[in-house]
Amino acid sequence: MSSSHLSIFPSHKLSHLSSHSSLSSLSSLLPSPLAPTTYRLSTTIHCGLRDLRDRIDSVKNTQKITEAMKLVAAAKVRRAQEAVVSSRPFSETLVEVLYNINTQLQTDDIDVPLTKVRPVRKLALVVVTGDRGLCGGFNNAVLKKAESRIAEIKALGLNFIVISVGKKGNTYFLRRPYIPVDRFLDLGNLPTTKDAQAIADDVFSLFVSEEVDKVELLYTKFVSLVKSDPVIHTLLPLSPKGEICDINGVCVDAAEDELFRLTTKEGKLTVERETVRTPTPAFSPILQFEQDPVQILDALLPLYLNSQILRALQESLASELAARMSAMSSATDNAIELKKNLSIAYNRQRQAKITGEILEIVAGAEALI
């Protein structure tokens, strides 16, 4: 049987695409986060018609899997965005209450544990990662940011401890025993207030007992379906005004959210962007508090801490799902390209075989004349 000489990228990956291993071949179709996603014809494949048919069937099955995973991630990312937006009115109203209480206490010397600023000797870093893979460089970006921040903390001569949230981060830090980890926490498919409460209780006890003097939260901020940025926010001490600040003390809270809705246009999947600004009721300037404002702060600041952790978990989940949708989209495109090139190789080899058989028949007929 004759062999095919079509060049395709890469031959060692195609050799693993059998009809019984479609799931294991997903990683070969995913673009590497450190390499460009452009596929070029670079090597030569030598195989028969049967092998080519098996490879084509395997790539077709893989394409169906990646397309289904893309659609599932698209549906989930929409729900995750809605969860982020629906939680904003509560956070905004809570900020208004905290701000107005703070304006009444500007002349008073109050002592609220969660807002107490101390000289930093030891720092806690909460790292939020995903529970699953097949989402491009999402988890790698968070872990690289964590390694960079840990290096900065060591350079300052400070002690630190890590609180890992997410199975990927847990696996990463378990393999590095030289990084001190306080707790390993797992998340479910959808972050809940119970998950946020578990993290808040841990950092609250560490900060109030003065085991650590500062708590930072590292998570992935959802920007768009094709972009997400790992960011670090100062979780404790809290700002009395209810602002969210980065490690430099700059307020980074956003007043607007963007929703991305998947629709079909001319038979193709497209994305529509919609900017949503959540309205919040104005805080009455004549409102008076029956209780002591310090007691109200003691009750509201832990609640605000929980809400900020929950929002970070929701944004991290939305970023993970968007990254997975983008990765599955790239894998689907690569599968289509592979199937096209393999089909060309199959047709050329089949045509060459048929042509050879015809020539043999003609030669045999001429020999009988």
Tokens of 213: 């003097």
135 is catalytic: yes
Gap between the Cα atoms of 158 and 239, Å rounded:
23
Report the pLDDT value the prediction gives residue 117, as an integer from 0 to 100: 81
Average the pLDDT over 58-66 and give the result.
89
Spatial contact of 240 and 102, defined as CB atoms under 8 Å apart: yes
Cβ-based neighbours of 320, under 8 Å, separated by 6 or more: 130, 132, 135, 138, 220
Q: Inform me whether the pLDDT recorded for 366 exceeds 70.
A: yes
Phi, psi torsion values for 360, nearest 5 degrees: -65, -40
Phi, psi torsion values for 43, nearest 5 degrees: -125, 170
Gap between the Cα atoms of 61 and 54, Å rounded:
11
Cβ-based neighbours of 162, under 8 Å, separated by 6 or more: 124, 125, 126, 127, 146, 150, 173, 179, 180, 181, 182
**pTM confidence score:** 0.71
Gap between the Cα atoms of 127 and 132, Å rounded:
15
Phi-psi region of 166 (alpha: psi -120 to 50; beta: other; left: phi over 0): left
Q: Is 180 helix (H, G, I), strand (E, B) or coil?
A: coil
DSSP 32: P
CB atoms within 10 A of CB 302: 17
- Reported as half-sphere exposure (CB side, CA atoms, 13 A), residue 229 has a value of 4
Q: What is the pLDDT confidence band of residue 281, given thresholds at 50, 70 and 90?
A: low
Gap between the Cα atoms of 214 and 124, Å rounded:
6
Report the pLDDT value the prediction gives residue 1, as an integer from 0 to 100: 42
Residue 241 vs residue 216, higher pLDDT: 216
CA angle 226, 165, 138 (to 5 degrees): 20
First to last CA, the chain: 28
Name residue 268's beta-bridge partners: 265
Q: Choose from 96-100, 234-238, 269-273 the range with maximum mean pLDDT.
A: 234-238
Nearest partner of 142 among 249, 228, 224, 30, judged by Cα:
228
Q: Which of 47, 135, 245, 251 is catalytic?
A: 135
Give me the residue label for tokens 């600041």.
301
Q: Inform me whether the pLDDT recorded for 107 exceeds 60.
A: no
Strands 227-236 and 214-224: antiparallel
Q: Inform me whether the pLDDT recorded for 170 exceeds 50.
A: yes
Phi, psi torsion values for 261, nearest 5 degrees: -105, 130
Average the pLDDT over 24-42 and give the result.
49
Gap between the Cα atoms of 94 and 338, Å rounded:
53
